[in-house]
Amino acid sequence: MEALTAEQSIAAITSGQTSSEELVEEALRRSEDDPWGAFLALDGERARRRAKEIDAAAERPPLAGVPIAIKDVLSTRDLETTAGSQILKGFRPLYTATCIKRLERAGAVVVGKTNMDEFAMGSSTENSSYQLTLNPWDMETVPGGSSGGSAATVAARQVPWSLGSDTGGSIRQPASLCGVVGMKPTYGAVSRYGLIAFASSLDQVGPLARTVRDSALLLSHIVGQDPRDSTSLDWWKPIEVPDTERLDGVKIGVISEMLENGIESGVKSATEAATATAAELGAEITEVSLPSSRHGIAAYYLIAPAEASANLARFDGMRYGARAAADDLLEHYERTRGEGFGPEVKRRIMLGTFALASGYYEAYYARAQRVRTLIVRDFGEAFEKVDLLLSPTSPTTAFKIGERVDDPYAMYMSDICTIPMSLAGLPAISIPCGVADGLPVGLQLTGPAFSENGLFSVAHALEQAIDFDALPETLS
């Protein structure tokens, strides 16, 4: 069976050409045969049952029973949720994340949970404590991270779309490396209830899909205020992605700092070609500087670990998850956390705890927050001149498995183009814009807060003009 996009799947079900049961069965078949290691768990029995219910309903829900995969950082009642960590092995939540509930009410069928970097800490999915996930474009390379499983399963055509989470680039960077579309919404647009927290002022749930229209459709069903999440906002208006072919009147700023040293030549060439395409479509192109963005990596790797050190304190083996045998309470904590957490999680907990310690708070954490304010200010000044910003999503294409595992700095630099947007809480989307040395390149578009509709509109026009329809070599 041909792998349909989500939009095509809904149309096929609605017209009677196929059924939810058939599409779910096909998705399960493709996902059980999983040479890429995208899935940590499948939920075939429940998925089949739900598809059958949707097909038998008198009135079809808007998503019509289309299958979807969920990053394993989102809680699913009675289905193991591990966040890629041994410390949560066997944990079955008592509730389901709000965003998943909303999708299920709209008629999406969850087929399983995808692999990820442990507690969303990583840029390659090599930090999963369970398995490696391989990039469908080249199985010797990483899929990116931390939502590597969610990106890989869409690239491999196992499911038409998936949910990921983005703290410093964890949707956009794997979308770029796997040649799919990934959107990080405005902070507060999507409820974080049921999302296992990494850095609470940065985490945001968002869609990965094969097309911009699918991404917009998925986002439209998860946004909105949630009384269980005090940071969620009631701001949304219906998403519309017009079939426009022109960008006349749109002012696009190319971020100069994100085309400097460290950007691979193939990535730079593809970005410049996409910029030229935008100009051909009528967009007004100008160069924009975000001077404080150069300090984004340093600020992020103080703020995010500090928040992680507080959030992960709850994982002590007392209430849920793995529990080590010990003779006293202190030994219990030490052994449970020592055995349950992987090296990267321990590194960030120690870094964050140090940054928050008495005598160091002002020198590190508080200073990083001041840098964050400067980055927000830079974006505000830029959006007084342009409608949106353009840059590469990742400075490189997919790198070899194992290439950066012993070099945390090189790994952290994978997110140099995505972290400033996360620190500012802004929406950003990555779309495929070309291929360099046989691997996909992602183009990132960033807009002011709550400008998702505008981003989708411009991204859709560029997507049609670029016409990126290449398949991973493993599928061609």
Q: What is the pLDDT of residues 129-158, one digit of tens each?
A: 999 999 999 999 999 999 999 999 999 999
Average confidence (pLDDT) over 418-444: 97
What whole-number distance in Å separates Cα of residue 85 and Cα of residue 96? Answer: 19
> pLDDT band for position 237 (50/70/90)?
low
How many angstroms from the chain centroid is the CA of residue 39? 15
Domain boundary among 334, 369, 404: 369
Among candidate residues 123, 150, 170, 422, the one labeled active-site is 170
> pLDDT band for position 326 (50/70/90)?
confident
Question: Are residues 155 and 303 located together in one domain of the fold?
Answer: no
Average pLDDT of every residue of the chain: 95
Q: Phi and psi (nearest 5°) for 162?
A: -155, 170
Question: Are residues 301 and 243 located together in one domain of the fold?
Answer: no
What tens digit of pLDDT does each residue of 91-142 get? 999 999 999 999 999 999 999 999 999 999 999 999 999 999 999 999 999 9
Question: Are residues 351 and 404 located together in one domain of the fold?
Answer: no
E strands present in 67-108: 67-71
Sheet containing strand 251-255, edge to edge, reads 39-42, 109-114, 67-71, 161-166, 204-209, 181-184, 428-436, 439-446, 388-392, 251-255, 284-288
For 20-170, where are the alpha helices, taking DSSP H only?
20-32, 44-56, 98-106, 148-155
Among candidate residues 146, 191, 292, 394, the one labeled active-site is 146
The question of whether 71 is a catalytic residue gets the answer yes
**Residue 343 pLDDT > 80:** yes
> For residue 265, is the peptide bond before it cis, meaning its omega torsion is within 30 degrees of 0?
no
Among candidate residues 71, 101, 113, 184, the one labeled active-site is 71
**Residue 351 pLDDT > 70:** yes
- Would you tell me how many other CB atoms lie within 10 Å of the CB of residue 459? 25
Is 125 within the bounds of a domain?
Answer: yes
191 Cβ contact list (under 8 Å, min separation 6): 97, 98, 99, 205, 222, 224, 225, 226, 228, 229, 232
Q: What is the CATH number of the domain that holds 28?
A: 3.90.1300.10
Question: For residue 476, what pLDDT is reported?
Answer: 60
**CA dihedral over 336, 338, 344, 347, signed as positive or negative:** positive
Q: For residue 328, what are the domain limits?
A: 294-369
Question: For residue 234, what pLDDT is reported?
Answer: 86
Average confidence (pLDDT) over 228-242: 81
Q: Phi and psi (nearest 5°) for 44?
A: -60, -45
**Residue 389 pLDDT > 70:** yes
> pLDDT band for position 467 (50/70/90)?
confident
Average confidence (pLDDT) over 59-79: 97
Question: For residue 364, what pLDDT is reported?
Answer: 94
**Residue 394 pLDDT > 70:** yes
Question: For residue 333, what pLDDT is reported?
Answer: 86
Is 272 within the bounds of a domain?
Answer: no
> pLDDT band for position 87 (50/70/90)?
very high
The question of whether 256 is a catalytic residue gets the answer no
Q: Distance from first CA to last CA of the chain, Å, rounded?
A: 15
Is 288 within the bounds of a domain?
Answer: no
In terms of Cβ atoms closer than 10 Å to its own Cβ (0-12, 13-18, 19+), residue 471 is: middle
Question: For residue 236, what pLDDT is reported?
Answer: 64
Question: For residue 325, what pLDDT is reported?
Answer: 83
The question of whether 52 is a catalytic residue gets the answer no
Question: For residue 1, what pLDDT is reported?
Answer: 64
What whole-number distance in Å separates Cα of residue 343 and Cα of residue 437? Answer: 32
For 296-357, where are the alpha helices, taking DSSP H only?
296-311, 329-340, 343-356
Domain boundary among 308, 340, 369: 369
How many angstroms from the chain centroid is the CA of residue 79? 21
Question: Are residues 164 and 220 located together in one domain of the fold?
Answer: yes
Number of domains in the chain: 2
